[in-house]
Amino acid sequence: MKYLSRPEELILLAVWNLKEEAYGVNIRGFIKELTGRYWSVGSVYVPLDRLEDKGFLRSFRSDPTPERGGKSRRYYDMTKSGLEQLEEIRKIYQSVWKDMPEIAAK
């Protein structure tokens, strides 16, 4: 198994959740909303490239759009390997966290 960094894991989960709307700006917004923290452009696009290099994502360009000044968007889609990676991560976390009691904030 190729282990992922936490940002890579969050980005894979964002792509999974966003489905057909998984492109850079939406992915970044989803992760910001999820974590409540600022994510720089590079902190999203560099892991996206790594995940594609690892075979967990594939990307494609949309048709140019007038609202983007004729530029296309780069969309991301999960591969079978990416889905298998997420399932493996889920199994690991379920195993590790199964006996952990709820921790109440004081």
DSSP class of 103: -
Question: What pTM, to 2 d.p., does this model score?
Answer: 0.84
Answer for the pair 48, 57: CB distance below 8 angstroms, yes or no: yes
**CATH domain 6-97 topology:** Arc Repressor Mutant, subunit A (1.10.10)
- Angle CA(60)–CA(54)–CA(15) in degrees, nearest 5? 50
For the chain, the average pLDDT equals 90
pLDDT band at 105 (very low <50, low <70, confident <90, very high): low
- Angle CA(85)–CA(91)–CA(92) in degrees, nearest 5? 90
Q: What are the tens digits of pLDDT across the range 8-52?
A: 999 999 999 999 999 999 999 999 999 999 999 999 999 999 999
